[in-house]
Structure formats: structure tokens, C-alpha cells
Amino acid sequence: MWVELIRAASSECSFSEPTAWASLDVAESSLNVAFPTELRELLLESNGVQGEYGLGLVWPVERIVSDNVNFRQNKNFFDIYMPFDYLLFFGDNGSGDLFAFPIMANGEIHRSDIFAWNHEDDSRTWAAPSLKLFFKWWAEGQIKI
């Protein structure tokens, strides 16, 4: 479903082999948050989605874990950025800005909204109401950071 949906939005994307359920379970445990259903379904079809020029529109599950841990624990970030504990980063735009699902104060993701984090000014801006529309709007050039 996801591969076909993304291909319909853009012919520039490439896909990876699916991830395993166990890998998702380990990732969620490592980050202490359940991934949104849309993200889980996508990763089970393709462990990452690369856009034109290798752009990491959706990272492989291993990178989702490593980058989120790095952003949350990197002491160099503590004085220059707001905390990242309430974002689940999953991809990037190729220029240092990242895409994330919001983690609510209770530690759960209740919304399918996607936010863009700007690395230059630390802003967190609403980008799309769902992963499905994220891909459509990205392909149409409607997502700007």
C-alpha cells in the first residue's frame, strides 16, 4: 500500500527491504514510545524511503533510533536547542532540517500530524496532517521549511 501510494506521488523515490516486526519492537523500546501506525506500516513495507539524490524522506528504523537518541542525549544541544524529548524524528529534507511526529506529555503519540524542525532557528512548524499527505505535499512542493 505505502510503496504504491508514494510511487503515485513521486517517481523519484526508492525503497528498501522491509524491516522486521522485532526491529520495530526494539526501536520502540529503545526510544520508549510506540511509533504511529502509519510509520510502522510503512517501515514494514520498506525500511526507509529515499527521495531524489538519496534524500532520507523516511529513515531506516536503525537511523530513527540512533538519531533520536543522539538528539536527546547530546550535551552540546542542551544550551542551543529546546529539548527533543517530545519529537520522534523520522526523516530529513537534506539540508539539516528534520521531520517528526509529536510525542505528547504522557509519552505517547496521539496525533498523525507531522512537524518540521528547522536546525537554524530551532522552530518546530506543522508540515502535514498525516504521513500520507506528507508524501503528496512533499512531491507537490507544498512543504517548505
Q: What would the pLDDT profile of 50-106 be if each residue is shown by its tens digit?
A: 988 878 999 999 999 999 999 999 999 999 999 999 999 999 999 999 999 999 999
Exposure on the CB side of residue 66, measured as CA atoms within 13 A? 5
* CATH class of the region 2-135: alpha beta
| Chain mean pLDDT for the chain | 95
pLDDT of 119 higher than 90: yes
What is the C-alpha separation between 128 and 112, in angstroms, rounded?
9
**pLDDT value at 11 more than 90:** no
Break the chain into its structural domains and give their ranges: 2-135
Long-range CB contacts for residues 31-36, cutoff 8 Å, separation at least 24: 31/64, 31/65, 31/68, 31/69, 31/88, 32/107, 33/88, 33/103, 33/107, 33/108, 33/109, 34/108, 34/109, 35/88, 35/101, 35/109, 36/88, 36/101, 36/109, 36/112, 36/131
Question: What pTM did the predictor assign?
Answer: 0.95
Binned at pLDDT 50, 70 and 90, residue 144 comes out as confident
Question: How confident is residue 145, by pLDDT bands cut at 50, 70 and 90?
Answer: confident
What average pLDDT does the segment 100-126 reach?
A: 96
- Cα separation, 145 vs 127, in Å, equals 9
Contacts of 141 (CB under 8 A, 6+ apart): none
Q: What is the pLDDT of residue 35?
A: 97
